[in-house]
Amino acid sequence: MDPHKYRPSSAFNTSFWTTNSGAPVWNNNSSLTVGSRGPILLEDYHLVEKLANFDRERIPERVVHARGASAKGFFEVTHDISQLTCADFLRAPGVQTPVIVRFSTVIHERGSPETLRDPRGFAVKFYTREGNFDLVGNNFPVFFVRDGMKFPDMVHALKPNPKSHIQENWRIVDFFSHHPESLHMFTFLFDDIGIPQDYRHMEGSGVNTYTLINKAGKVHYVKFHWKPTCGVKNLLEEEAIRVGGSNHSHATQDLYDSIAAGNYPEWKLFIQIIDPDHEDKFDFDPLDVTKTWPEDILPLMPVGRLVLNRNIDNFFAENEQLAFCPSIVVPGVFYSDDKLLQTRIFSYSDTQRHRLGPNYLQLPPNAPKCAHHNNHHEGFMNFMHRDEEINYFPSRYDPVRHAERYPIPTAMLTGKREKTIIEKENNFKQPGERYRSWTPDRQERFICRWVDALSDPRMRSAASGFHTGLRPTNLWVRN
């Protein structure tokens, strides 16, 4: 073994305790003291190292998606879509790509029950031959706001009151009463599907609009959808109380136990596509994340299947240090001008650099599994072994070159530099259609959840005096 090439890992464990530097530890039970009852000595390096490492075991909690569970498996192409994209991992039916998937709740804290009414995250990291592709989504196909400028305020409203640290409905309703675009999202969140039974019986959606580009450079807008083969199942309020009261980690345990028993969760991947030349034909903006694309006009196209057949080896390493960023794409997949996606491109990677450090992509679950080369080096927690002398480009001493060119969307852009909103807001049509498609009992449960949210005493006092600037809150049940 080359001692300069490999770092300690479980593959090189000794049969006895050592310090982090490898020195043998002959007593891991007692501190070094002056006599049997004397004071502890600062020179007990093993004690100091052990306590110092323990003090630093926790890393910053994710601001959102703090509570999560992960599993590994593969994605297999089942249908040929090579006419739409030059992405290598989608090149032909039968191609398999290793993946790691993280499911999560969005708003609540790391130790919160998994039975709370909350959107669920559904993030998939594809380890392709051309680098990683992070498809970061939720279990609902729409989102609360369409512009990332509103995202920090939205999260603050959904989080606990900073004074009392209690999550309160009046704060949530107050904020969203000013944003009728969020009504469509609430027809999912306050619907019966607002509390999934577990992660295996949950749909997933990329939410944002991406683009697919083929070898000829033709671009299509695309939305991604995951459909569980075992069906969608949810918990109503009474069931959620019972399940959460007996096991606050029920969804994590269900995922782990199912895989351990060989009952591998599986999802089918579907896409919807729109030719950008036709985007003006709809009564909504296809890049608006508060809208769904009607399946009767834009049918779901099958692409492949996702199978989770391996549990993670270590929760901290492969769940807490697992990092997803919508900015991480591969040739053949690119961004669109979706306003929320554009802000997520910056925000997610910036979050990971803060939470895990500038070299978070060197951590095993985040690192690409293909060969890679650049001149990014040094910085906090850099553990990549490098022995080259050239760390600049170009150089006659380094044969590295540009990769083969691949197509990205091109478009002529004109317009004034201004802060503005999407023109085709159309905030109420889709939520109204969704509400009217339900059975009466499902409509009644939806309304009851709104009544409960609007019954907060602070909301009643605000509604009695419009000098507060609040708009009437009955817009939420408008059809």
Active-site positions? Answer: 65, 138
Q: If we measure between CA atoms, which residue out of 318, 292, 113, 260 comes closest to residue 198? A: 113
Alpha-carbon separation of residue 222 from 37, 73, 205, 317, 367 (angstroms): 70, 24, 11, 32, 26
| Structure tokens belonging to residue 291 | 């809208």
The Cα 180–Cα 145 span in angstroms is 9
The Cα 46–Cα 52 span in angstroms is 10
Neighbours of 223 (CB within 10 A): 23
Task: Assess whether the previous peptide bond of 394 is cis (omega < 30° from 0).
Answer: yes
Q: If we measure between CA atoms, which residue out of 75, 82, 80, 79 comes closest to residue 96? A: 75
Task: Give kind and range of the element (H or E) at residue 70.
Answer: strand 68-77
Residue 105 phi, psi dihedral angles, 5° rounding: -95, 160
Q: Is 159 exposed, middle or buried (0-12, 13-18, 19+ CB in 10 A)?
A: middle
According to DSSP, the β-strands at 219-228 and 210-213 are antiparallel
| Helix axes of 151-158 and 339-356: crossing angle, nearest 10 degrees | 70
Q: Which amino acid is at 219?
A: V
Contact 312, 318 (CB under 8 A): yes
| Structure tokens belonging to residue 34 | 């002056």
Q: If we measure between CA atoms, which residue out of 74, 131, 75 comes closest to residue 328? A: 131
Alpha-helix runs per DSSP H in 115-182: 151-158, 169-176
Q: If we measure between CA atoms, which residue out of 372, 364, 451 comes closest to residue 169? A: 451
Q: If we measure between CA atoms, which residue out of 11, 391, 426 comes closest to residue 180? A: 426
Q: What is the DSSP letter of 298?
A: S
